[in-house]
Amino acid sequence: MTRTARLAAVVAVLAAARAAAWADQATISNIPYTDIQITDADGGKLTYALRGRNYDKPMTEVSHLQVMGRTALNQAENQLKAKKPAEAVALYDRAFAQADEAWLKRLVRCRRLVALDSAGLIGRAVEDWLTIADETSAGRAAIVLAPSRLGQRGSAENAKAIQLLEGRLKTRNVALLARVKQMLRELYTVEGAADKIALLDGAGPAGGGDNGNGGTTPAPIAPVRVGGEGLSGQLKEAQDQINAGRYAEAADNIKARLPRYSNADLPTALLLRGRALELQHQKSGGGDRSLLLEAGLGYMRIVSCFDPSTAGAPEALFRAGQVCQRLGNKVAAQNAWRLLMERSPDSEWAKKAEAALGG
C-alpha cells in the first residue's frame, strides 16, 4: 500500500470514528447502540436508523438515551440513570420547553414519564401518559407505559391522577379503559374509597342506592346461570346478601354450606363467595390481604376442579388474574388471562382478559 493509500485509510478511520462520536446513543434491552440516529418516539415506540435501516423498539425497553446536541435531555437521562428522578424531571421539563420539533417533544414526554413515575409524581405521570395515549390512539405500546407508583394517601398527586383518570371512564377504547380502571382501583384502595371501587366493578349511578347508612350499595353482580336455570334458593339468598352489602355474612354462610352443595351448584357458590370476599376487602379499605388470597384460592378451585366449559369457570379464571394483580403478582395475573384466552376464546371474559393484557 502506498503512502497516499495508507493516509487515505487513516483519514477514513478517523472520519468514521468522528461520525460515531457524534451519533445518537441508546441502551435498548440492556444492549448499547452507539452509532444510531434517533428520529421519533411515536406510538410508545422509539424509532431510529442504523446502517441505513429503520427500527422501532418499545419505549419500555429503552433505559438510556443520548441525543446529539440536546444538552438538557442528555443531562436528564444521566440523572435518571443515576437514580435521581426528581433532578431528572426538572431537566426533562427544560428539554421539553427547548424542543423545537414535534418528534423531540414526544421523545422527551415518554422519557419524562419514566422519571415522574420513579419520583412518585403520579398526577403528572398520568397526565403525560394520557397525552401519549391520545397521540397514538391508545395502542398497546403506549398503554403499557402507564405509571405504577402511587402517591401518599391524601396527596395532591393522587387527587390529580384520580381526576384525570375518572375523566376517561367513558372512553370507547377497551384496552385503555381496562388500564384506567385498574389504576383507579389501586388509587381508590390507597385513598380508602371502597364505595368507588365497588362502582368500578360494575355498578353505576343508576345501579346502586342508599344503604341507609349514608353510603352507596354496589349494584348487584350479574346472576350466574347454571344449566340455563336461575340460582337455587340458598345461592339466591347469598346473592341477595351481597347485593345488600352484607359481604362478610354472605361469605360465611356460603363457607358453612360448601360441603352440602351439589356438583352443579358448587362452582357458582365458590364464585359468589369469591365476589363477597373481594367486596369485603374493598369495603374495609384494602388492608386485609387474606381476604383476597382466600377469594383467589376459591376461584382457582373452580378452574382446577371443573371443566373449562362449566358455567362460571371463565369468570373465575379472569377474577383469579385480577386478584393476583392486586396482590402485586403481575406475571401470575398475565398467565391466568392468557390461559383464559386459550381455554375459552369466545367468552366475554376472554375479551376482558385481552383488554387487561393491553391487546
Which CATH number does the domain housing residue 280 bear?
Answer: 1.25.40.10
Rounded distance between C-alpha atoms, residue 106 and residue 101, angstroms: 9
Q: Scanning the structure block, which residue is given the C-alpha cell 393522587?
A: 158
* pLDDT attached to residue 329: 85
Give the mean model confidence (pLDDT) for residues 47-66. 89
Domain co-membership, 174 together with 258: no
Report yes or no on 190 lying in a domain.
no
**pLDDT at 142 exceeding the cut of 90:** no
Written as one letter, the residue type at 287 is: G
Domain co-membership, 159 together with 293: no
Domain co-membership, 30 together with 151: yes
Domain co-membership, 123 together with 231: no
**pLDDT at 171 exceeding the cut of 50:** yes
- Say how many Å lie between the first and final Cα of the chain, rounded: 60
* pLDDT attached to residue 359: 60
Cell numbers for 336, please give them. 391466568
Confidence of residue 77 (pLDDT cuts 50, 70, 90): very high
Domain co-membership, 44 together with 173: yes
* pLDDT attached to residue 72: 94
Rounded distance between C-alpha atoms, residue 149 and residue 151, angstroms: 7
**pLDDT at 177 exceeding the cut of 60:** yes
pLDDT above 70 covers a percentage of the chain that reads 82
Instruction: Look at 38-47, 68-77, 111-120 and tell me which has the smallest mean pLDDT.
Output: 38-47
**pLDDT, tens digit, 9 for 90 and up, residues 192-226:** 877 777 677 543 333 333 333 333 344 444 443 33
Report yes or no on 34 lying in a domain.
yes
Confidence of residue 308 (pLDDT cuts 50, 70, 90): confident
* pLDDT attached to residue 201: 56
For helices 289-305 and 313-326, what crossing angle results, to 10°?
Answer: 150
Domain co-membership, 169 together with 266: no
Rounded distance between C-alpha atoms, residue 72 and residue 104, angstroms: 12
Domain co-membership, 39 together with 164: yes
Domain co-membership, 36 together with 173: yes
Report yes or no on 64 lying in a domain.
yes
Report yes or no on 264 lying in a domain.
yes
Distances, alpha carbon 92 to alpha carbons 85, 158, 266, in Å? 10, 22, 56
Domain co-membership, 172 together with 297: no
Report yes or no on 130 lying in a domain.
yes
pLDDT above 90 covers a percentage of the chain that reads 26
* pLDDT attached to residue 15: 42
Confidence of residue 73 (pLDDT cuts 50, 70, 90): very high
Domain co-membership, 64 together with 135: yes
On average, the pLDDT of the chain sits at 81
* pLDDT attached to residue 9: 53
Domain co-membership, 174 together with 232: no
Report yes or no on 185 lying in a domain.
no
Q: Show which of 179, 206, 238 is a domain's final residue.
A: 179
Rounded distance between C-alpha atoms, residue 94 and residue 92, angstroms: 5
CATH number of the domain to which 42 belongs: 1.25.40
What b/e sequence results for 89-106 when a residue is b if at least 16 CB atoms lie within 10 Å of its CB, and e otherwise?
bebbbbbbeebeeeebbb
**pLDDT, tens digit, 9 for 90 and up, residues 227-263:** 334 566 678 788 878 877 888 888 888 888 888 888 8
Q: Please give the residue range of the domain that contains residue 105.
A: 24-179
Confidence of residue 5 (pLDDT cuts 50, 70, 90): low
**pLDDT, tens digit, 9 for 90 and up, residues 7-31:** 455 444 434 443 444 478 999 888 8
Report yes or no on 222 lying in a domain.
no
3-state secondary structure the chain: CCHHHHHHHHHHHHHHHHHHHCCEEEEECCEEEEEEEEEECCCCEEEEEECCEEEEEEHHHEEEEECCCCHHHHHHHHHHHCCCHHHHHHHHHHHHHHCCCHHHHHHHHHHHHHHHHHCCCHHHHHHHHHHHHHHCCCCHHHHCCCCCCCCCCCCHHHHHHHHHHHCCCCCCCHHHHHHHHHHHHHHHHHHCCHHHHHHHCCCCCCCCEECCCCCEECCCCCCCCECCECCCHHHHHHHHHHHCCCHHHHHHHHHHHHHHCCCCCHHHHHHHHHHHHHHHHHHCCCCCHHHHHHHHHHHHHHHHHCCCCCCCHHHHHHHHHHHHHHCCCHHHHHHHHHHHHHHCCCCHHHHHHHHHCCC
**pLDDT, tens digit, 9 for 90 and up, residues 261-282:** 888 888 888 999 999 898 888 8
Domain co-membership, 242 together with 315: yes
Confidence of residue 94 (pLDDT cuts 50, 70, 90): very high
* pLDDT attached to residue 205: 33
Q: Show which of 121, 146, 179 is a domain's final residue.
A: 179
* CB 77 within 8 Å of CB 91: no
Report yes or no on 192 lying in a domain.
no
Q: How many structural domains is the chain composed of? A: 2
